[in-house]
Structure 1
Amino acid sequence: MRVMKWSMIALAVSAGTSQFAMASSQEESKGFIEDQSLTAKTRLEYMNRDQRNGGGNIALPGGGFKNGYREDTGISELLIYKSGFTQGTIGVGVDAFAGGTARLDGGEGRQGNNLFASDDDGKPEHTQSKAGAAVKFRLSDTVLKYGTQQTESPVFATDDSRLLPEFATGTLITSKEIKGLELTAGHFTAMSGQQNMGHDSINGAHTKGLTSADIAGATYQFTDNFVAGVAASDVDDYFKKQYVNLNYTLPINDSQALNFDFNGYKSKSQGQELAGDVDNRIWSLAAAYSLGAHKFTLAHQRSSGDTGYVYGVDGGGTIFLANSIQYSDFNFADERSWQARYDLNMKTYGVPGLSFMTRYVKGDNISTDTGEGKEHEWDIETKYVLQSGPAKDLSFRVRQAFYRASSNVTGDVNDFRIIVEYPLSIL
């Protein structure tokens, strides 16, 4: 599931912002060096998953599992360099990254949280690293980038929920020539996973990995309050997907607003059907009421078709749905799920940077070979970001999920995480 979803309204706002200026982005370029940036992001993550029943880490020869408790601690450093564009009609630039991780705690008997890959002896690696780069070209307000990069398309999104993010290799074109409109198109041939550092190491249940993926999308900001987007993908020998998003905000006054967010996918397997015979339609509708420091959200999500919604080989973040939360995505075949959520921003009460969230999601009507399945999850989360001083932007985040499901769905899990992150701007 996706820890932080990039909403279509956020994408559309970024698409429209530069369009209010008379000059194009390339005309305003200051130069390759003048517009460059270098950031270093340090992340410390502790994670444990207690498989309450029906699951474990190491299978025993006679059946069952040796251990159902997974616990890891690690630290990562990710350097990201972004050059500016050279001046002229067509600007040229380079983006590059280098990242490494170190295991601080967690052994063979407790692995399984996807923080580290395993060595030839089945033990988690002590250190891992990855690096990559992409060349970019800009004409007016259209950018072509070729190489290794992170992606945010709802049909092809790299995940960043562990120590280092996924990175995709390919070509992406992003155009913002028309005010309020963002167009994207891309072709990708490899995906580096979060756990496995290799150039083409995304697999999980998809042992062959990414073959190739073609994507396209459009987002348009019709008014200040209404945004719509569509996208489609063709992942060779896996599946084809279509996606739609509608996002509308109704301001009530300076401290109150209503937001409605609809997301929907249609998926169908193709070719060798490496992800199985996929046939799914899934949608979610969320309504959020903001009142000063408080936000109350209700959401409904519904899946139909012969299978559940499948993703992963096209990026671990490719699930822009309301009920994709900390542990479960509530995306099984025929599943119906409901969510109630509460957010609190403590800035109003004199503690800027401190926030709190809790939510409960319940799903039922899951189609299984042994009858209807059910699941539910309760999440609690708090985060604090330092607002000033030498450690400005240092954040502390605590996440707890309690997941329970009927035996014909999966096992019960308690998922606990502590994430400390420090982004530092060097250039």
Structure 2
Amino acid sequence: MTQSPLARAVALAALGTCLTLPSLAQAEFIKDSKATLEARNFYFNRDFRQDGASQAKREEWAQGFILRADSGYTEGTFGFGLDAIGMLGFKLDSGGGTANTDLLVPDRSGGSQDYSSDLAVAAKAKVSKTTLRVGSMQFKNMAIASSDSRLTPQVFKGGQLISQEIDGLTLDGGYVREVNNRNSGDFEDLSMTTGGRRGISVTGGSTTDAFTFLGGTYKLTQNLTGAYYYSNLEDLYKQNSFNLVHILPLADKQTLKTDLRYARSTDDGRSNVDNKALGAMITYGIEGHSFGLGYQKMSGNTGFAYLATSTDPFLVNYVQISDFANKDEQSWQARYDFNFASIGIPGLTFMTRYLTGDNVDRGAAASEGKEWERNSELMYVFQPEFIE
């Protein structure tokens, strides 16, 4: 089979090979193309020890591959290009009754499929410092953030316009109509997270095919950045989100970072959403060490509203399992990070944290709800200089 120059370039880049294509140097579409191949070997084990659990354990092992290929832009005033995400997942182990880890696509018997594949493609156009993307893609902003905490990432179908024409200002707007979740091979309509003790109810249908957002970030000073986003999940909720991040240099290799977040969520016709979410995270860094304290408070008639399923909400106390965003809940977080690059081991990091939440409204006949969570993570990213 004869391959085109673009196909050869993408294939070589995916294997981590540095490319020089002199014969194609004048074609920006080719010259600025890049591709990466990520391999994920994922073992997941969750043990449900509480009484009355419908499933005692979720345990699966899987291998995944994610190829990300981004082209450059064609030459001219208006440049055009393509971005693609190719995803493959293979089941290595999954026993009877231990599925539903979100690593793999479910089958009709209640287990998981042996393998799955998917392709997300988005067309893009650029003029000056403004870019339009239309198709299937990931998002990462205050209003919508694709989950990437399992074998393959969550992707959405829609469009996004990003403009950086003014120094220090990034404007961001978009429209989303469908989601392909991290354990699915099909696109489906959008819905809202309503689980836990959120107190959120929906009438007249729980799905919609329209989510819009508009906002941006602005660098107010060298050390202070502000952001605002408006978002609307049609017929379900409207949300105004604010963020201020300040980084204060204290001394040599010492900083104090303050991250303040506030969101006001209201209903949009078919729900009872009414929430104010306040969060703050203060982190002191010294050389490779980071010490963080976080506080989060929910108020209003319901808990926090955001896109389902498993989309990452913009909350300081959203962690591995819980988001600590139930009705009236207040929560605290203590966190420690260490970057081993500070002692000569680049790519190796360690994190541990503990969170506790209380004052959850469980109804008039019940006492206040409480929850806690602790996480630890040791991670190594292989460095390019060590790869043959």
- Which SS does the other structure have where 1:365 is aligned? strand
For residues 111 and 80 of structure 1, what CA distance do their matches in structure 2 show?
28
* Aligned equivalent of 1:327, options 311, 316, 321: 321
Q: Contact (CA 8 Å) 1:86, 1:92: kept in 2 or not?
A: yes
Structure 1 residues 230 and 55, CA gap change in structure 2 (3 angstroms): farther
- Which SS does the other structure have where 2:29 is aligned? coil
Q: Contact (CA 8 Å) 1:309, 1:333: kept in 2 or not?
A: yes
Structure 1 residues 306 and 54, CA gap change in structure 2 (3 angstroms): farther
Task: Identify the residue that residue 35 of structure 2 maps to in structure 1.
Answer: 38
Structure 1 residues 240 and 203, CA gap change in structure 2 (3 angstroms): closer
Q: Contact (CA 8 Å) 1:107, 1:124: kept in 2 or not?
A: no
Structure 1 residues 376 and 229, CA gap change in structure 2 (3 angstroms): same
Cα deviation, residue 126, structure 1? 1.2
* Aligned equivalent of 1:144, options 132, 144, 155: 132
* Aligned equivalent of 2:185, options 184, 197, 205: 197
Residues 1:269 and 2:267 aligned together: yes
Q: Contact (CA 8 Å) 1:114, 1:162: kept in 2 or not?
A: yes
Q: Within 5 Å, which residues of 2 pair with 1:332-351?
A: 332-351=326-345
Task: Identify the residue that residue 80 of structure 2 maps to in structure 1.
Answer: 92
For residues 120 and 205 of structure 1, what CA distance do their matches in structure 2 show?
24
For residues 216 and 208 of structure 1, what CA distance do their matches in structure 2 show?
23
Q: Contact (CA 8 Å) 2:276, 2:300: kept in 1 or not?
A: yes
Identity of aligned residues (%): 34
Question: What's the TM-score, normalizing by structure 1?
Answer: 0.78
Task: Identify the residue that residue 356 of structure 1 maps to in structure 2.
Answer: 350
For residues 112 and 283 of structure 1, what CA distance do their matches in structure 2 show?
32
For residues 146 and 139 of structure 1, what CA distance do their matches in structure 2 show?
15
Task: Identify the residue that residue 290 of structure 2 maps to in structure 1.
Answer: 295
1:45-73 per-position Cα deviation (integer Å, ceiling 9, x unaligned) = 111111110453xxxxxxxx3x4111011
Q: Contact (CA 8 Å) 2:45, 2:58: kept in 1 or not?
A: yes
1:254-273 per-position Cα deviation (integer Å, ceiling 9, x unaligned) = 21111100112111122333
Residues 1:312 and 2:318 aligned together: no
- Which SS does the other structure have where 2:32 is aligned? coil
Structure 1 residues 204 and 154, CA gap change in structure 2 (3 angstroms): closer
* Aligned equivalent of 2:232, options 223, 234, 241: 234
Aligned amino acid, residue 65 of structure 2: E
Aligned amino acid, residue 164 of structure 1: T
Cα deviation, residue 203, structure 1? 5.9
* Aligned equivalent of 1:175, options 163, 184, 187: 163
Task: Identify the residue that residue 368 of structure 2 maps to in structure 1.
Answer: 372
* Aligned equivalent of 1:125, options 96, 100, 113: 113
Q: Contact (CA 8 Å) 2:278, 2:296: kept in 1 or not?
A: yes
Task: Identify the residue that residue 23 of structure 1 maps to in structure 2.
Answer: none
For residues 79 and 157 of structure 1, what CA distance do their matches in structure 2 show?
20
Cα deviation, residue 233, structure 1? 0.7
- Which SS does the other structure have where 1:33 is aligned? helix
Say which is worse superposed, 324-333 or 30-39, in terms of deviation. 30-39
Question: What's the TM-score, normalizing by structure 2?
Answer: 0.86
Which structure would you say has the larger RCO, counting Cα contacts within 8 Å and 6 or more residues apart? 1
Aligned amino acid, residue 383 of structure 1: M
Aligned amino acid, residue 348 of structure 1: S
- Which SS does the other structure have where 1:152 is aligned? coil
Cα deviation, residue 386, structure 1? 2.6
Q: What count of residue pairs does the alignment treat as equivalent?
A: 351
Q: Within 5 Å, which residues of 2 pair with 1:217-228?
A: 217-228=215-226
For residues 175 and 167 of structure 2, what CA distance do their matches in structure 1 show?
25
Cα deviation, residue 205, structure 1? 6.3
Aligned amino acid, residue 283 of structure 2: A
- Which SS does the other structure have where 2:310 is aligned? coil
* Aligned equivalent of 2:148, options 112, 135, 160: 160
Cα deviation, residue 128, structure 1? 1.2
- Which SS does the other structure have where 1:333 is aligned? coil
Cα deviation, residue 201, structure 1? 6.4
Cα deviation, residue 389, structure 1? 4.3
Cα deviation, residue 327, structure 1? 1.3
For residues 302 and 226 of structure 2, what CA distance do their matches in structure 1 show?
27
Residues 1:51 and 2:48 aligned together: yes
| Ranges in structure 1 where 5+ consecutive residues have no aligned partner | 1-28, 57-64, 393-427
Residues 1:115 and 2:115 aligned together: no
Cα deviation, residue 121, structure 1? 2.0
